[in-house]
Amino acid sequence: MKKLLAMLMAVAMCFTLLTACGNSSDTPAETGSAPAETGDNTGETPADGTAFKLGGTGPLTGGASIYGLAAQRGAQIAVDEIREAGGDIQFDLRYEDDVHVAETAVNAYNTLKGWGMQISLGSVTSTPGIATSALNYEDRIFALTPSASSPDVIAGKDNVYQMCFSDPNQGLASAQYIYEQGLGESVYIIWKNDDIYSTGIKDQFMAEAEALGLNVVGDSTFTEDTQNDFTVQLTDAQQKGADLIFLPMYYQPASLILTQADQMGYEPKFFGVDGMDGILTMEGFDATLAEGVMLLTPFNADATDEATVAFVTKYQDLYGETPNQFAADAYDCVYALKQALETAGCTPDMSNEELCDALMEVFPTITFTGLTGDGQGITWDSTGAVSKAPKGMVIEGGAYVGMD
Amino acid sequence: MDITVILDYLIRGLSLGSVYAIIALGYTMVYGIAKMLNFAHGDVIMVGGYICFFSMSGLSSHFEEGSVAAMVVPAVAGTLAAMVVCTVLGVTIERLAYKPLRQASSLAVLITAIGVSYFLQNAALLLWSANPKVFTPVVGRGSLQVGPLSISYVTLLTIAVCIVIMIALTTFTSRGKMGKAMRAVSEDKGAAQLMGINVNATISLTFAIGSALAGIAGVLFMSAYPTLTPTTGSMPGIKAFTAAVFGGIGSIPGALLGGLLLGIIEIFAGAYISTQLQNAIVFAVLIVVLVVRPAGLLGKTIREKV
Amino acid sequence: MSNVGKRLTGMKRSTRTSMATYGMVILAYIVIQLIRGLRDGGVGPLLEGQLVPICAYVTMALALNLVVGISGELSLGHAGFMSIGAFAGCSMAMGLEAVIPAAPLRLAVAMVFGAAVAAVLGFLIGIPVLRLNGDYLAIVTLAFGEIIKGVVTNIYLGLDSAGLHFSFLTNGNELLDGGKELIKGPVGVMNSERISTFTAGFILVMIALIVIFNLVNSRTGRAIMAARDNRIAAESVGISVTKYKMIAFATSAALAGAAGTLYGCSQVTFVATKFDFNTSILILVFVVLGGLGNMWGSVIAAAALTILPEALRQFQDYRMLVYAIVLILVMLATNNPTLQSFFARLFRRGGDDDDAAPRKGKLSRKEAAR
C-alpha cells in the first residue's frame, strides 16, 4: 500500500506538471517569458499576435547539446537584434529540447505546435530532423533548418528548407577540392559509423573520388562508443601510406585524432568538413596540433567583416564562448526568414498554412547575404537545398586562413 | 604481419586497458563491500576531470612557463583537488541517496544510482557548459622510445598508478582493522554488525576510497583521451563495469586484469577484424568468457548451500 | 452492487489483481478515446503524439517485469529485443505494403513477425545467458544489447521486384527502379507511413497482460516463481529451472519484439542507436518503480515516466536535472523504511484497505532478502 501511495504521488506530480505546462501554452504572459529565460535575453517580449511564433528543436541536454545550445543561442541573438532594431517583422522564439533522439524531437515539435508555432526552425541534428520535417510537411508549417544536413530531411517535403550544405554536397565538394588542388596522392578516410552526417559525407566522397580517379587507399570507422582511441585507424592509414586523411566528422573526435597522430609522430595532411569548425575554440586545445589542417566551411569565427565581428562579440559577451557554425547557421536562418517574410508581405496574424504557401513561393527567389556563405549570396532551389559557396580554409598559426 | 605493429597495438591496448582498469577498481571496490552497482561512478570521474582541469588552468598561469614548478605543481595540485572533491562528492551522494536505502533491494539502489548519474551529468552541463574542454596531460605529451616502439608517458604513468593502487588496496583490505572490517562487511553484513563493526561507517569509508580513486581515474583518463564534456564519463563507466565483471567483480586484481584485457581486445578487434564491429566483438568475447567461467576470470565461484 | 462486491471479495487475490489491472487499462483507454472524440483538439498535440509510444513502453515494462519480477533475473539488454522487433516488424510492414493494403491487418502481421523474430533471438540468447547468475547474467544481457545495436547499425536491406537485397557493413544493394530501402544502416528505418494506432497499442497492452497473467497463474508460472525463490529447492522437486526460466525469457522477448514493432511503426524514423543501454535502463526504471512482479504498477510507472520528461519542459534548461531529482526522490520515498512507515501511518489514520498492507510488507521483505 505504501508503494501504491508513493506511486500515486508520483502520478499526481506528473499531472500537476502537465496541467501547469498546458496552462503555460494557453496564457500569453507565460509563453512570453519562456524564450526570454532560455536565451538570457533582456529584450522585451512583444504581445501575442504581433510577432511570428518561431519554434525549433535541438539537443539542449545530453551528449550532442553543444550543437543544440549553439543554434538556440545564435537564433536568439538574431531575434533580439531584430527586436532592438524595431520594424514590422518580429519573432517570438522558442526552442525545445530533443536530446538528439527522433522520438523526443516529435514530442518537442508537438509541444511547439501546442504553443501555436507558425514557422519552424526544424531540428538542429539530422535524425530528429527527418522526424520533425515529416510533421512539418503534414502540418504545413514552413521549416528552415539551420543544420540538419541529411538529404532525407528535405527529400519529398516541399516546405522544408536547409541553411547548411547537404551531406552529399559536402562529400562531393571535398573530393573535387582535394582533386583539383592536388592536395593528396593517397587519401584515407576515417568516419563515424553510427552517425548519419559522417556516413552521408563519406559515401558521396567515395563515389566522387572514384569518378575523379582520386586514389583512396582505405577507410576505417569508429562509433560513439569507441571514440576514444584512434590508434588502430591511424596505424592503418600510416601502413597504407596515406598522405592525406579525410575526416568527415565533428571536431570533438577530430581533436583526439589530431592529438593521437601527433603522439605517434605521424604527420599526414588532414582535411575536414564544416563540422570541424570549432576545433580552435575548444578551451585548452593546443592549436599547433591543428596546424595545416584544411577544411571546407561556410563560417569563420575569425573573419574580420563587420557582421561576423559583431555577432562573435555579442555571442562571447552573452555566453562566454566563441560561436561555432551551428550558431551562425541559426542566426542566418532567422534573418533569412525575416527577409522572406518581408518580401512576401506576411503579417503575424496569418495562419501557418498561409505563411507556408507564401514562404514556399518566395524562398526559391530570394538571395540572402549572411554570416555563412563567405559574404556571397545564398540561394535555394525549390527542393529546399541551399546553394552557397563553401570556403577552403587552412589553419595557420592558430587561425583560419583562406586557401585560395 | 609485422611484429612491430602487433607490439604497437599491444601497447595501445595496454594504454586503453589501464584506463578501464583504474575505473574498474573503483567499481569493484564499492561492489565488493556495498553489493551495489554504482552507475554514477563514471560521472564522478567526469567531475574529477573538470576539477583537475580548472585547478590546473587556474594555477599554471602563476608559474613561469617551462620551469619545473610549472610542470609539477599544477598537475599535483590538480590531482589532489580532484581527489578531495570526488571524495566529498562520493560521500555526500552515499549519505543522501544510498544510505537511506540500505535495507531496500539492490535494484532500488541501482535505479537511484542511475538517477544520481543523470543528476551529475545535467548539473555539469549547466555549470560547465557543453563545450568540450581539452585537458592538458599531467605528465606532458611525450613518449618513451624503446627501439621502434614508443610508449607515451601517460600510459606508463597509468599502468604504474594502477599497480600501485592495486597493491595498496590489497594490502589495506588484508591487513589492518579497517580492511578486515571491510572484508567482514562484504562477507556478511549482519554477522559483522554483531561483531561490533560499524557497518554504516565502513560502507561510507568504502565510498570515500572508491571516489578518491575515481578522482585519480578522472585525471588519468583525461590525460590519455583529453576531450572533456559532461557525458565523458558514461561510456568508459559502462566499459569499466564490463571490465570489472570480466575479471570477476569484487576482486581487486580481477579488475586490473579485466580492464587490461578489455583494452587489448578492443584494439585488436578493431585492428584485425573490423572497426565497424569493434564494440560488438568486445562484448562477444565477454560473453564467451563468462559462459566458460561464469564468475569471471578471477572471481570466486560461491557454492550454493541448501 | 453489493453482489458484485461480494463476488469480488470472493475471488482469489490473483484474479482480483488481474481483473483490476484489465479494468484500469480499459478505463484509461475509454477515457482517452472519449476525450479524443468529444473535446475539440483532443488530448492536445503532445499527448496525442505520445499515446502509441506510451503503449509500447508499457508493453516493454510488462515484458521486462516478467523476467525481472516473476523470473527473478536482471536483464540490462531488453532494448535489444525491442530493436529487433522494430526493425524486423517495420521492414515487414513496408514490404507488405502492396500485398496487404489494409493497415491494421498489415500491422498485426508485422507485429507477429517482429514478436517471432525476437522470440527466436531470445531463445538463442537465453541458452548462454540462463546458465549464469545474478550480476553476471545482467552483464551478459547488457553485452547482447550492445551487440545487437552494433550489428543492426550495419544492416542494409532493400526490396525491389527481384526480391530482397541484404548487405552488411557497406551498402552494396543495387535496387531496380521502384525498389525501396527498408533498412539503411546508420540512417535506420524511414517509414513510408505510420500505421500504429492507439487502439492497436491498447490491444497489444491487453494481450501482454492476458499472456502474463495467464502464465503467472498457471502451473508453469508457479514453477517459474519457485525457481526464482529457491533454485535448489525447485530443482529438488523435479522442476527444470532452465526450461522454465527460458519460457519466461522467450515470452518476454516476444512481447518486447511486438512492442518494438508497435513503436517502430509509430515513428517517422528510428535508428539502431536509439535502442541502447540507456533505453534498457529506462525500462528497468519503470519496472522497479512500479514494483517487481507488480503488473499494474509497471503500467502506471511506464505511462507516468514517459510523460514526465515532457511535462517538465517548463523547467527548460533544468528539465533533465529536475527529472533526475524526481527519480531519486521517488526511489527514496518508495524504498526508505522510515518514509514508508510514515506514509503507512498517514494512510492508516485515513482508515482504508487493511488487506494489502501486510502483503506488501511481506513482498518488500522478500525483495530485501534477494
What is the rounded (10 degree) CA torsion for B69, B75, B77, B79? Answer: -160
* Residue C239 grid cell: 522442476
pLDDT of residue B154: 84
Question: Which residues in chain A are contacts of C153 at CB distance < 8 A?
Answer: 193-194, 223
For chain A, list the contacting chains (3+ Cβ pairs, <8 Å): B, C
Q: How far is Cα C118 from Cα C98, in angstroms, rounded to an integer?
A: 25
Residue of chain A with shortest Cα separation from C46: A110
pLDDT, tens digit, for every residue of C167-205?
888 777 777 777 788 888 888 898 878 899 999 999 999
Residue that is written with C-alpha cell 516529435 in the block = A106
For residue C314, give the nearest of A20, A62, A223 by CB distance. Answer: A20
In angstroms, the CA B225 to CA B237 distance is 14
Q: Are C55 and C262 in contact (CB under 8 A)?
A: yes
Is the model's pLDDT at B223 over the cut of 80? Answer: yes
Q: Binning pLDDT at 50, 70 and 90, where does residue A72 land? A: very high
State the smallest CA–CA distance between residue C282 and chain A in angstroms. 14
Q: Is the pLDDT of residue A77 over 80?
A: yes
Contact B291 C128 (CB under 8 A): yes
Give pLDDT, residue C134: 76
pLDDT at site B143: 75
A326 and A276 in a common domain: no
Dihedral angle of Cα C266, C271, C273, C274, to the nearest 10 degrees: -20
Q: Considering CB atoms only, which of C136, C232, C331 is closest to B115?
A: C331
Domain of A278, CATH number, reads 3.40.50.2300
Q: Are residues A116 and A177 in the same domain?
A: no
Is B304 in Cβ contact with C368 (below 8 Å)?
no
Q: Is B277 near chain C, with CB under 8 Å?
A: yes
Final residue of a structural domain among A297, A318, A335 = A297
Percent of chain A whose predicted confidence (pLDDT) is above 90: 41
**Nearest CB to B118; choose among C128, C233, C323:** C323
Q: Is the dihedral of CA C129, C133, C139, C141 positive or negative?
A: positive
Are A195 and C186 in contact (CB < 8 Å)? yes
What pLDDT is stored for residue A18 in this prediction? 43
Interchain contact, C136 vs B295, CB within 8 Å: yes
Q: How many domains does chain C have?
A: 1
* Min distance B16 CA to chain C CA atoms (Å): 19
Q: In whole angstroms, how far apart are CA C113 and each of A392, C91, C99, C154, C270?
A: 50, 10, 15, 21, 18
Q: What is the pLDDT of residue A15?
A: 47
Nearest CB partner across the interface for A199, out of C186, C273, C274: C186
> Which tens digits make up the pLDDT trace of B61-98?
777 776 777 778 888 899 999 999 999 999 999 999 98
pLDDT higher than 90, residue B49 = yes
pLDDT in tens, A236-288: 999 899 999 999 998 888 989 998 888 888 889 999 988 887 788 788 888 88
| CA-to-CA dists, residue C125 to B292, B293, B296, C144, C253, angstroms | 15, 17, 19, 8, 10
Band the pLDDT of A316: cuts 50, 70, 90: very high
* Residue B149 pLDDT > 90: no
Is residue A5, in this structure, part of any structural domain at all?
A: no
Q: Say which of C153, C171, C291 has its CB closest to residue A194.
A: C153
Is residue A39 a contact partner of residue A72, using CB atoms and an 8 Å limit?
Answer: yes
Say what angle helices A325-344 and A65-85 make with each other, to 10 degrees.
40
Q: How far is CA A78 from the centre of its chain?
A: 15
B275 touches chain C (CB under 8 A): no
Position B264 scores a pLDDT of 93
Nearest CA in chain A to B222: A228
pLDDT of residue B133: 87
- Which one has a higher pLDDT value, B136 or C255? C255
Mean pLDDT score across all residues of chain C: 85
Interface contact flag, B103 C150, Cβ < 8 Å: no
What is residue C3's predicted lDDT score, i.e. its pLDDT?
61
Note whether residue A26 is domain-resident.
Answer: no
Question: Mean of the per-residue pLDDT values for chain B?
Answer: 86
A134 lies in the same domain as A181 = no
Which residues lie below 8 Å from residue B72, measured CB to CB, with a gap of 6+? none
Task: Check whether C30 has a pLDDT greater than 50.
Answer: yes
**A94 three-state secondary structure:** strand
Residue A255 and residue B134: Cβ atoms within 8 Å? yes
Residue B92: list chain C partners with CB under 8 A: none
Residue of B93, B96, B105, B281 to mutate, testing the C interface (most C Cβ within 10 Å of its Cβ): B105
- Considering only alpha carbons, which residue of chain B is nearest residue A219? B275
CB atoms within 10 A of CB C137: 21
Contacts of C76 (CB under 8 A, 6+ apart): C138, C139, C141, C142, C145, C277, C280, C281, C284
Return the beta strands (E) in C242-364 as ranges: 269-270
State whether A103 and C53 contact (CB < 8 Å): yes
Q: How many CA atoms lie within 13 A of A339 on its CB side?
A: 19
* A176 lies in the same domain as A188: yes
pLDDT at B302: 64
Q: Tell me, what's the pLDDT at C111?
A: 95
What is the widest separation between alpha-carbon atoms in chain B?
69
- pLDDT band per the 50, 70, 90 thresholds, residue B304: low
pLDDT band at residue A61 using 50, 70 and 90 as cut-offs: confident
The count of other CB atoms within 10 Å of the CB of residue C77 is 27
Condensed to tens digits (0 to 9), the pLDDT of residues B183-205 reads: 888 888 888 889 888 988 998 99
Provide mean pLDDT across the span C86-99.
Answer: 91
Average of per-residue pLDDT across A211-221: 91
Please calculate the CA angle A286-A290-A295 and round it to the nearest 5 degrees: 145
The pLDDT score that the predictor gives to residue A24 is: 39
**Would the CB atoms of A18 and C316 count as touching at under 8 Å?**
no
Domain ranges for chain B:
19-233
What single-letter DSSP state applies at residue B303?
A: P
Q: Does B130 touch chain C (CB under 8 A)?
A: no
* Alpha-carbon gap, residue A336 to A363, rounded angstroms: 9
- For residue A323, being part of any structural domain is answered with yes
How much is the pLDDT for C370? 39
Position A296 pLDDT exceeds 60 = yes
Partners of A142 in beta bridges:
A119
pLDDT at C347 over 70: no
Q: What is the mean pLDDT of residues C301-320?
A: 86
Q: Which residues contact A343 (CB under 8 A, 6 or more apart)?
A: A362, A365, A366
Chain A / chain B CB contacts < 8 angstroms: 107
Evaluate if residue C98 carries a pLDDT over 60.
yes
Positive or negative, the Cα torsion across B173, B174, B178, B182?
A: positive
* Number of CB atoms found within 10 A of residue C214's CB: 12
The set of residues, in sequence order, having a beta carbon less than 8 Å from that of C225 and lying 6+ positions away, is: C70, C216
Place of cell 527519480: C327
Whether the per-residue pLDDT at B110 is higher than 90: the answer is: no
Q: What is the pTM of this model?
A: 0.87
- Residue B148: pLDDT over 90: no
A143/A179 same-domain check: no
Q: Which of residues 156-195 of C touch A (CB under 8 A)?
A: 171, 185-188, 190
Taking CB atoms and an 8 Å limit, are A225 and C146 in contact across chains? yes
Model confidence at A404, pLDDT cuts 50, 70, 90, reads: low
3-state secondary structure of B146: strand
Q: Do C344 and A199 touch (CB under 8 A)?
A: no
Note down the domain range covering C300.
10-144+194-335
> Does residue A103 share a domain with residue A69?
yes
Q: Using CB atoms, which chains have 3+ pairs under 8 A with C?
A: A, B
Does residue A251 sit in the same domain as residue A214? yes
Contacts of C131 in chain B (CB under 8 A): 291, 294
Q: Is the CB of B134 less than 8 angstroms away from the CB of A61?
A: no
| Subunit contact C274:A37, Cβ cutoff 8 A | no
**Contact call for residues A229 and B12 (beta carbons, < 8 A):** yes
Strand (E) or helix (H) holding A115: helix A102-115
pLDDT tops 50 at residue C360: no
Alpha helices in chain B (DSSP H): 3-34, 41-60, 68-93, 106-128, 153-174, 177-187, 189-194, 199-224, 234-247, 252-272, 278-292
Q: Which of A188, A225, A281 to mutate: most B Cβ within 10 Å?
A: A225
Show the CA angle centred on residue A320, arms to residues A315 and A325, nearest 5°.
Answer: 50
Give the residue numbers spanning the domain of A77.
47-165+308-387
pLDDT band at A315 (very low <50, low <70, confident <90, very high): very high
Number of domain units in chain A: 2
Q: What is the mean pLDDT of residues C259-277?
A: 93
CB pair distance less than 8 Å for A4 and C356: yes
